[in-house]
Amino acid sequence: MTGDPAFMTLAEAAAAISTGAVSSVELTKACLDRLKTHGPTLHAVAGLDEADALAQAEAADKAQAAGAPLGPLHGVPLAHKDMYYRAGRPSACGSVIRKDFVPDHTSTALAGLDAAGALDIARLNMVEFALGVTGHNDVVGTPKNPWNTAHMTGGSSSGSGAAVAARLCYGALGSDTGGSIRLPAACCGLVGMKPTYGRVSRYGAMPLSHSLDTVGPLTRTVRDNAMMMQAIAGPDANDPVTASAVPGDYLAELGRDVSGLKIGLPETFFYENVAPEVRTLVEASLKVYEDRGCEIVPVKIPDAVSIMNRLTNLITATEGAANHGRWLAERPGDYGPQTRARMSIGLFTPANVYLRVLTLRKQLVREFCDQVFRQVDALHTPMMVMPVPTLQESNMAAQPGFADYLLKIGQNTRPVNFLGLPGLNMPCGFTPDGLPCSFQLVGRPYSEGLLYRLGDAYQQATDWHEKAPDLD
Amino acid sequence: MPPSDTDDMTTVLAWLDQFQDLHPNGNELADPAAAARAAAKAGREATHDLPFDGDPTGFTATLETLARKDGES
């Protein structure tokens, strides 16, 4: 911890602004300093308009001075994955193909954060078209992990992970189709929420896979995450898959007693391939819950989970290829080789198989909830099964074996996307190489509040979330 | 390109040309053809026992039926 206000949590920053202890301009300048200093080193920033950021901050301070009602995120500088549209501002989606794209509308998620008073001060780098779990981007450059720049950030919300961990902003939106919020959160030591499918509107967010895409925040604490989620969750007529129910009060869940809650310890699947140093840390996190009165219950996982990883890839590639069909035909050379290779898989999916897999999904989520959540309130799993790989060892390009390697990285994330369930990434320490390690909490549909309650209980008992990478 | 796929590529490129009007023109496809074959096989096997009248639509509605009913957020 330093005297730098950029090191405050989002919640602390919002509170400090609301009491007048600090101004939005001061916080924005602190973030801009770090964005300019560390952003290029980490390759985290896709676009930065310093004058616009300061103008937003000055407007926030002016509104506060005039006695205007303040939203819960008033004046707090955020930055987001470069796939959330804001009318009149470029959104390149980590690509060359869309480098000059300027949307004419603003995404519902950004509009929600705007309404809560947050500032949007930068566009953050990402995997090309959000298709990739390692963070590599062959066309606009690859972000680096702030904890060790030789290591991958995870993807596809790679810049979001790097920027929030490096204290370049207080929180960031990511998107999660197969793990793209949770994996960068895990690699960079952050809290990342992949909400229930349909909990947050995707309107105005670059589509990758309509059946799987979700929108959620990456932050340093659970409280910060709940504050952002509260501002973006809810029904939206512009996204017909959003759930009709209004979300609960996530912040009210924080600090609630967790004793008596049943946490599922998977007996099968999720611990397959887990490295010993990861297992040690993940199992230690279970002890924290035991100490707080939770009951740890071994749970048999439905066998069908073992195929969900591949089926998630099938849906993603098929829907992605549908979205990208025109560019794959007309501009194949403008894609990076990894993106083109992964997207190309979808060109070969038989339509009958694709439709049957979507049908199967409904059956399997019913079976999973019946078998797992009839016994426990939440499932606890390792997030990544291996320590955070280096950029070099995870740069599979389009080489033989790349598909299997990527499957292993997303082993424990993609089934959660396939099932449409909420998944919360929780940092739980560091492996011997100094890189973060995380566990995952998975809940019933729309149980984000419960996951935040459990995540907050863990952070109240530990201090992993207070550690920051040394960039100087 | 892995050797196992080499023999497939002529077919793959012909299929892309004739059915998708796509012409990669030398851009590497590597083993996506093999990955796609494995994914399609997995999909066929996984859905083998589905009933004839299954419905792929309405996933959000399915999730809503599985939410807790006790007011948990």
Q: Tell me which of A156, A157, A175, A209 is the catalytic residue.
A: A156
A81 is catalytic: yes
Contact by Cβ (8 Å): A148, A164 = no
Please give, rounded to a whole number of angstroms, the shortest distance from the CA of A212 to a CA of chain B. 10
Alpha-carbon distance of A317 to A131, in angstroms, equals 9
What are the start-end ranges of the E strands in A11-124? 45-48, 77-81, 119-124
Q: Which helix (H) or strand (E) holds A256?
A: none
Residue of B2, B33, B40 with shortest CB distance to A353: B40
B61 interface with A at CB cutoff 8 Å = no
Residue A430 parent element (H or E): strand A423-430
Contacts of A357 in chain B (CB under 8 A): 43, 46-47
Q: What is the pLDDT of residues B7-57, one digit of tens each?
A: 567 777 777 788 777 776 666 565 667 777 888 888 999 999 999 999 999
Q: SS in 3 state form for A177-246?
A: CCCCCHHHHHHHCCEEEECCCCCECCCCECCCCCCCCEEEEEECCHHHHHHHHHHHECCCCCCCCCCCCC
Task: Determine the distance in angstroms separating the CA of B69 from the nearest CA of chain A, rounded to an integer.
Answer: 11
Q: For residue A199, what is the nearest residue in chain B, using CA coordinates?
A: B60
- Residue B2: its pLDDT value, please? 41
- Residue of chain A whose Cα is closest to the Cα of B50: A360
Side-chain-facing half-sphere of A99: CA atoms under 13 Å: 8
How confident is the model at residue B1, as a pLDDT?
37
Written as tens digits, the pLDDT of chain A (472 aa) is: 458 999 999 999 999 999 999 999 999 999 999 999 999 999 999 999 999 999 999 999 999 999 999 999 999 999 999 999 999 999 999 999 999 999 999 999 999 999 999 999 999 999 999 999 999 999 999 999 999 999 999 999 999 999 999 999 999 999 999 999 999 999 999 999 999 999 999 999 999 999 999 999 999 999 999 999 999 999 999 999 999 999 999 999 999 999 999 999 999 999 999 999 999 999 999 999 999 999 999 999 999 999 999 899 999 999 999 999 999 888 989 999 889 888 888 988 999 999 999 999 999 999 999 999 999 999 999 999 999 999 998 887 656 667 678 889 999 999 999 999 999 999 999 999 999 999 999 999 999 999 999 999 999 999 999 999 999 7
* Side-chain half-sphere exposure of A267, counting CA atoms within 13 A: 9
CA distance B3 to chain A (A): 9
Q: Which residues of A touch B35 (CB under 8 A)?
A: 313, 345, 403
Contact list, A310 vs chain B (CB under 8 Å): 38-39, 42-43
**Buried/exposed code over A348-370 (b: 16+ C-beta within 10 A; e: otherwise):** bbeeebbbbbbbbbbbbbeebbe
A204: left (phi over 0), alpha (psi -120 to 50) or beta: left
Domains, chain A, ranges and CATH? Answer: 13-306+341-466 (3.90.1300.10)
**A100-128 tens-digit pLDDT:** 999 999 999 999 999 999 999 999 999 99
Q: Residue B3 — very low, low, confident or very high, per pLDDT cuts 50/70/90?
A: very low
- The minimal CB distance from B47 to the residues A357, A445, A446 is found for A357
CA A295 from centre of chain: 28
Q: Is A180 a catalytic residue?
A: yes
Residues of A in contact with B60 (CB under 8 A): 197-198, 241-243
Please check whether residue B72 touches A, CB under 8 A.
yes
CA A172 – CA A163 distance, rounded (Å)? 8
Spell out the residues 6+ positions from residue B23 whose beta carbon is closer than 8 angstroms to its own: A329, B16, B17
User: Which one of B21, B47, B48 would you mutate to disrupt binding with A, by most A Cβ within 10 Å of its Cβ?
Assistant: B47
ipTM for the assembly:
0.92
* Chain B closest-CA separation from residue A329 CA (Å): 5
| CA nearest to B39, candidates A172, A344, A378 | A344
The answer to whether the Cβ–Cβ distance between A420 and B25 falls below 8 Å is: no
User: Which residues of B are less than 8 Å from A347 in CB distance?
Assistant: 16, 20, 22, 36
Round to whole Å and give the CA distance between A288 and A454.
11
Cβ contact A400–B39 (<8 Å): no
